[in-house]
Amino acid sequence: VTIETRQTKPFDDQKPGTSGLRKKVPHFQQDNYVENFVQAIFDVAPKEPSKTLILGGDGRYFNREVIGRVIAMAAANDVERIVVGEGGILSTPAASNLIRKRNAFGGIILSASHNPGGPDEDFGIKFNTANGGPAPEGVTGAMFERTKQLTEYRIDPDVTVDIETIGQTNIGDLIVEVVDPVADYAVLMEELFDFDKIRALFASGFTMAFDAMHAVTGPYALEILENRLGAPKGTVRNGVPKEDFGGHHPDPNLVHAKALYDDMMRSDGPDFGAASDGDGDRNLIIGKGIYVSPSDSLAVLAANAAHTKAYAGGLKGIARSMPTSSAADRVAEVMGLPLYETPTGWKFFANLLDEGIVTICGEESAGTGANHVREKDGLWAVLLWLSILASRKESVRDILQSHWRQFGRNYYARHDFEAIDKPVADRFMAELTAMLPQLGGKTAEGFQVRSATDFAYKDPVDGSIAEHQGIRIRFENGSRVVFRLSGTGTEGATLRVYLERFEPGPDGLDRDVEEMLEPLIDAVDALVGYRRAIGRMEPDVVT
């Protein structure tokens, strides 16, 4: 063991965003940029309940390189055991599971999730704490402070480990365990779901397409869907993880998973379609001829969870991020469950899950998950859908339509305006915030403002406060718009505009989403003039 202390310089831009530190690869390749951030993690994270670290990533370009550096630095930073996925692979939910199973003090997950990969694309590092969840704001804040002060990092340059072969290596006091990235996760899924029932569904001729988007979920989906559940070979598409995700955005939405969507709209297409993102924590659900919005998916899963082994005893509560539609609120109301509304980002769910006051959580950005791990979980959502389909023996369309008849329908879309000049975006948000006191009561295009607020959240478990989490304008007719800036982008600023309009039914449940939201967009634009302020008429991405 030859621990070296090397000089580094502090960086002023290592503030983790919604989900870890994300930058372009060349930015991460600056001298000591990775080392600085990793040292800050080791300095800030308490090594409790054990000195075990979980390590893996989504397999994107630069993944292997950074895995090697983290191992060498861990050896010099009082880590006793590293559990790393073979080939440096671990999906985000699988990493969360391993942290919990191994009583690790935390995990380092290398991913920029749904952002593209490659030498000029995105990379990311995130740290999850001992509960398996993304580091809370207190911890990321402390890490950021540390990155601005660091002048040295510690490394054992002699430590090199073959991460391509499963097995254990002892290097001085350090044990490095290379594990099958899928095995423990697959066991967890078998504990939660009735695999026999899903197997019978596939055996009955039910067909599915799963698009792994050349990202990390490929090996998980192949093992679970095809090998264990007997889905026909070829059910999993793009199942081999690639460093550049085959040149695509591994973002499971109707833009980037268009090929899957097109297949699902064919009358002879599969019965059920799904996709996942770069690091395996998101899910896209499409039925034959019908898209399920993530907000609706959360509501349907919550309403039907009792069809599944793990949730047969009922749910404790539901949580959703603030911009997510209130479809889940109606389910909670009918089922007599508490509903929590949190800021965007999975880290805000962890306390509620730890405390045992919610069971299922979701975000409009295609994230759904539950108390089995502390991250959103793409394949879990797919398996829950499959369990419900196996049990109800109805199509996705029938399930969705009967859901709307019972609870009403929340027409919903998110408009993303990408790569806006940051000063322009910041100025617009500041002007909008200043406008809020005057908006109440105003009317445009027949929409009257009921309230206009800057969302702040007080965590009911630890009392911590998160401010400026999005501007929310609510109308008397139940419609709503939310404005916020993305915290995961790596180019300029991305303005997200979340639009929602409620129809109680029984009429008006089968309308076109875009048509339904158009009057709301016009009203909002008349009130706050966002299109002019950012100089864009049309969004880059609609989801």
Instruction: Pick what 193 binds: ligand VG1, Co ion, none; C-beta below 5 to 8 Å, kind-dependent.
Output: none
Per annotation, catalytic residue among 91, 96, 111, 113:
113
Residue window 329-358: x/- pattern of binding to ligand VG1, with contact defined by CB under 6 A:
---------------xxx------------
Q: Which positions ≥6 away from 407 have C-beta within 8 Å?
A: 299, 303, 327, 330, 331, 334
Asked whether the beta carbons of 496 and 416 are under 8 A apart, the reply is: yes
If the CB atoms of residues 238 and 344 are measured against ligand VG1, the closer one turns out to be: 344
Of 488, 493, 528, 534, the one binding ligand VG1 by CB under 6 A: 488
Residue from 156, 363, 459, 525 binding ligand VG1 (CB under 6 A):
363
Q: Whole-angstrom Cα distance, residue 267 to residue 287?
A: 11
User: Which of 442, 446, 431, 508 minimizes the C-alpha distance to 477?
Assistant: 446
Q: Does 325 bind ligand VG1 (CB under 6 A)?
A: no
Nearer to ligand VG1, 87 or 489 (CB): 489
If you write DSSP's letter for every residue of 234-282 in order, what string do you get? Answer: TSEES-S--TTGGGS----STTTTHHHHHHHHSTTS-SEEEEE-TTS-B
Cβ proximity to ligand VG1: between 52 and 342 the closer is: 342
Concerning whether 267 is annotated as a catalytic residue, the answer is no
d(CA 271, CA 401): 16
- 54-113 binders of ligand VG1 (CB under 6 A): 113
Neighbours of 211 (CB within 10 A): 27
Distance of closest approach, residue 110 Cβ to ligand VG1, in angstroms:
12
* Partner that binds at residue 294, options Co ion, ligand VG1, none, CB closer than 5 to 8 Å by kind: none
Closest CA to 154 of 4, 10, 42: 4
Closest CA to 96 of 36, 143, 149, 56: 56
Non-local (6+) Cβ contacts of 423 within 8 A are none
Minimum CB separation of residue 346 from ligand VG1 in Å reads: 5
Query: Of the two residues 346 and 428, which places its CB atom closer to ligand VG1 in the complex?
Result: 346
Judged by CB, which is closer to ligand VG1: 19, or 77? 19
Kind plus residue range of the DSSP H or E element containing 95: helix 92-101
Q: What are phi and psi of 75, to 5 degrees?
A: -60, -25
**What Å distances lie between residue 521 and 77, 110, 335, 470, CA to CA?**
53, 38, 32, 17
User: Footprint of Co ion on this chain (CB under 5 A)?
Assistant: 113, 277, 279, 281-282
Give the residue with the Cβ less far from Co ion, 156 or 281.
Answer: 281
Show Cβ contacts of residue 44 under 8 Å, excluding neighbours closer than 6 positions. 139, 142, 143, 146
Distance of CA 196 to the CA centre of its chain: 29
Whose Cβ is closer to ligand VG1: residue 322's or residue 388's? 322
Nearest distance from C-beta of residue 20 to ligand VG1, angstroms: 8
Residue 481: C-alpha distances to residues 163, 495, 496, 530 (Å): 47, 13, 10, 12
In sequence order, the 6+-apart residues with CB closer than 8 A to the CB of 285 are 272, 273, 274, 292, 294, 297, 381, 382, 385, 396
Taking CB atoms, the residue at the shortest distance from ligand VG1 is 113
Among residues 294, 367, 408, 539, the one that binds ligand VG1 under rule CB under 6 A: 367
Q: Which residue has the tokens 């069809």?
A: 307
Q: Give strand pairing partners of 154.
A: 5
Residue 293 contacts ligand VG1 per CB under 6 A: no
128 lines the binding site for ligand VG1 (CB under 6 A): no
User: How many residues of this chain interact with ligand VG1, rule: CB under 6 A?
Assistant: 18
Answer for which of 217, 365, 410, 479 binds ligand VG1 (CB under 6 A) is 365
Counting contacts by CB under 6 A, is residue 492 touching ligand VG1?
no
Partner touching 18 among ligand VG1, Co ion, none, CB below 5 to 8 Å by kind: ligand VG1
Kindly list the distances between the CA atom of residue 224 and the CA atoms of 236, 354, 519, in Å, as whole numbers in the listed order: 10, 27, 44
Cα-based distances in Å from 385 to 214, 300, 452: 22, 9, 36
Min CB(59)–Co ion separation in Å: 13
**Which member of 121, 223, 226, 281 binds ligand VG1 (CB under 6 A)?**
281
* Interaction between residue 19 and ligand VG1 (CB under 6 A): yes
For position 114 contacting ligand VG1 by CB under 6 A, the verdict is yes
- Is position 486 an interface residue for ligand VG1 (rule: CB under 6 A)? yes
Report strand pairing: 106-110 vs 174-179.
unpaired
Give the residue at shortest CB distance from Co ion: 113
Closer Cβ to ligand VG1, 115 or 235, answer by number: 115
Closest separation in Å from C-beta 519 to Co ion: 33
146 vs 372, which CB is nearer to Co ion?
372
- Least distance to ligand VG1 from the beta carbon of 484, Å? 7
Binding site partner of 121, from Co ion, ligand VG1, none, Cβ cut-off 5-8 A by kind? none
Report d(CA 270, CA 418) in Å as an integer. Answer: 33
Chain residues binding ligand VG1 by CB under 6 A are 18-19, 113-114, 277, 281-282, 321, 344-346, 363, 365, 367, 486-488, 496
Give the residue numbers annotated as catalytic, written as ranges.
113
